[in-house]
Structure formats: C-alpha cells, structure tokens
Amino acid sequence: MKAAQITSYGAADVLRVNEVARPAPGAGEVLVSVEASSVNGHDVIVRAGELKMVSGRRFPLGAGLDFAGVVVETGADVEGYRAGDRVWGMVHPRKRHVTAGAAEYVVVPAGRISLVPAGVSSVDAASLVVTGATALLALRDSVHAVKGERVLVRGAAGGVGTAVVQLAHALGCHVTALARDRHAPVLTGLGADEVLDYGSTTSDAIGPFDVIVDTVGTELNCYRSRLAAGGRMVTVGLSASALAAIAASSVYGSRRVRTFSANPDTAVLRDLADKVTSVALRPVIDSVYPLTDIAAAHKAFERGGVVGKHVVAVSA
C-alpha cells in the first residue's frame, strides 16, 4: 500500500509516499481503507521534530492524524462494525506510528472510530474529525460555554476556528471572530456576530468576553486580560512560549489559560456526528491535495492565510 511517511525531522520535503506492507488488525482493532485525511497542527509539529519525546528518533514515522474511509476487516472482539461501514477517526496523537492516517489503509482500535454521518463525503468527514472534536471539547468540556455568553475566537478562519465559530453560534453565544478582514464574509456566514481584523485590532481595544478560544498560541496573557469576571480561556495553539504562559496564568484561578490535547474516542465522535447531522457544524475546506502532494499540503498549511482545512484525498 502507499503511505505518507516522515523520513527525518525537518521541513515538509522530508515527507515521502512509500510502498509499505498493509497492516492487519489485531484483537479489538479495525482495518480501514482510507479515502481522505487532512493536515493538522499536530502533524506539522511532529514532522518538525517538536515532539521527539513522544515520536522518538527512529524513522520512518507515519503522517496524518485523522482519516475517513471504509471498514475492510475487523479483528477479534470487535462489535458494532462490519466490512463496508463508512467510518471516521484518528490515530492516537501521543503514540509512535510507522504508518498513520495519510495512507491507503490504517489499523486503529475500534474505540477510536465511529460511523460517518449519513450523506457526508469522506473528504468532508476528514476535514471535521480533529477540528470538530477540538472545538467541541474546548467549548463543552474546557470552558463550558453556555447560551448568551460573549465568545471571542482567535484565529477564527483556521480549521479549528471555523468549527468553534459554528458550534458557539449553535449554542446561542454572541460570537466575535478575530481573523483577516478578507475572511469576514465566510465567518459571518458561519455564524459570527462580528468579525474583527486581527491586523488592526489590539487586545486592549476589545472585550470583555465570557469565553476566549485561542488557536494561535501567542500573546496569551494579553488576551486573558480581556476576560470578564468569571470568564474562561482555552488555547489549542501550543508552543514553548504558550506553555510558559499557561503555567504562569495559574495564579488567576478560574480566569487562567486552559489547554488540552484533543484525543476523541467513539463517544466524542458520535457527539460530533450529531452536530454535523443537525447542521450545527459543516465542513469548511480550503483545498484538496492528492496523497502524492502531501508535502505541498503541509507547505500550504504553514503559509497560513487559509479558510478552513487542507484535505488529503487518498482514494476515491
């Protein structure tokens, strides 16, 4: 089978599409024929070597965190899935993988997948797995956003940002999106009540907000100061400086900066499917690349300025 692999740590050109043996499912596992994957921040920082403590120094490493496709085979003790089922899911983000989601086949534990919502293509589904789960967990489990609250989404035009805008709108929150000015029409269409140009808007000129969801990972203390009394903030844009700011913010109690690593199980993916079915969340895709051009997809992700996701089409 063909699989995108990281051959060494570095820039996007270290990615190669290699011929490797097709994996076989063990007990409790499912073999999926992958039709689409996507590019996520986690994929890029693994490739760059920023998670060496987890991924180690042995190569090759599998590329691609998420996937959507069709069940080919189930291992022993798997219930609820059979060959032909259309599923979505993700590999474990804190484990080393020789092949991962950006491959013609992937083996995962059955507890890491769920059925794709009816009528949703694999390309659309792949664009929603990580971004949708991250947005859902951020709003629901991290900052506990509720109807009527004022929510600021920083980095609102990216994959996670567009999902947060939609889910916060569906909750009945007042949504302020911080993004490039040219992305305002799209974000307004997704449910943003107002869109502020991040290039000309300073943190001290906005707010206060009940909830801030940050996807950028910089200037966290500046934005944290724009929380109202009882406000909550979470960031999913992690870096060394962001981790330092998160740790330092602990002195502010409930108004600290929270973070988490999205690692959805079947229950979360089913909740996500409900959001898609109810049209509270829909895919936002910037571009689609073939598997052979996954390096170009990574480069486009790193250039930024996108609206939504870069998807990698593995098979049709």
pLDDT at 191: 98
Could you give the count of Cα atoms lying within 13 Å of 4 in the half-sphere of its Cβ?
33
CATH number of residue 78's parent domain: 3.90.180.10
Closest C-alpha among 186, 173, 176, 138 to residue 154? 176
User: Whole domain around residue 294: which residue ranges?
Assistant: 2-127+284-313
In this structure, are 227 and 123 located in the same domain? Answer: no
Domain count, the chain: 2
Among 39-43, 50-54, 186-190, 271-275, which is the least confidently predicted range?
50-54
Measured distance CA(273)–CA(159) in Å, rounded:
17
Q: What is the pTM of this model?
A: 0.96
Average pLDDT score over residue span 69-96: 96
Average pLDDT score over residue span 287-306: 96
Secondary structure of residue 19 in the 3-state scheme: strand
Average pLDDT score over residue span 143-154: 98
Q: Of all residues in the chain, what percent carry a pLDDT higher than 70?
A: 99
Residue 275 lies in a domain: no
Does residue 101 carry a pLDDT above 80? yes
In this structure, are 113 and 166 located in the same domain? Answer: no
In this structure, are 51 and 77 located in the same domain? Answer: yes
